[in-house]
Amino acid sequence: MKICRLCKHPSPDGNNYCEKCKLSFEDVAVRKRYYNEKDDPLTNIKKNELERHKKPTNGSKILSFFVGVLGILITLGIPIGSYIYLNQDVDTYNKAVDLWNEGEINEAFEVAKKIPEDSRQYKKAQKLIKDAEEYLLYNKAVALWNSGNYEEAVKIFESFSEESEYYKQARSILKNK
């Protein structure tokens, strides 16, 4: 077994070159007569070559920097993007509620209809839509009643189910007929 003077890697006896650093064993034997290990020019060249390959270049430093920045962006971007995606419908629903509270029922109804079925806000939006529909329907019936169009108003008042918020009010109007 031969041991390389440069990298100290063991190689089989039959090899003429080190398996790791490719230093020639034959040249080493000849040079050993003329140079000690520190002064051997070929050994120094090989050592410098090995060290140069170990040192990062400017290109690899820049690449490492951008890979690190990309990693940070991905690490932060995925949760932030997910949060924004999952909460966009919350903002839409809140806008519909705000419009409702401001008395803009038609607009609240239209905004709530934009919330997709796969959203976590869908059920709330459907409740708001149902309430808006009943509110608008009740107000239409009251307007018809007040204008003397009793038949159409009665049809609308009778369409409210017992679960409806406007059921009792509609029944009260019909009793006072």
Q: What's the whole-model pTM score?
A: 0.47
Mind listing the pLDDT tens digit for each residue in 51-82? 666 666 677 778 888 888 888 888 887 777 77
Mind listing the pLDDT tens digit for each residue in 17-33? 788 877 776 765 544 54
Whose CA is closest to 135, among 110, 100, 111? 100
CB atoms < 10 A from the CB of 106, how many?
11
Say if residues 55 and 43 touch (Cβ distance below 8 Å).
no
Q: Is 105 exposed, middle or buried, given 0-12, 13-18 or 19+ CB atoms closer than 10 A?
A: middle
CB atoms < 10 A from the CB of 109, how many?
21
Average pLDDT rounded to a whole number, residues 132-150: 89
Note the pLDDT of residue 35: 43
Residue 143 pLDDT grade (very low, low, confident, very high; cuts 50, 70, 90)? very high
- 21-42 in b/e form (b: 16+ CB < 10 A) is bebebeebeebeeeeeeeebee
Averaged pLDDT of the chain:
79
Average pLDDT rounded to a whole number, residues 138-148: 90
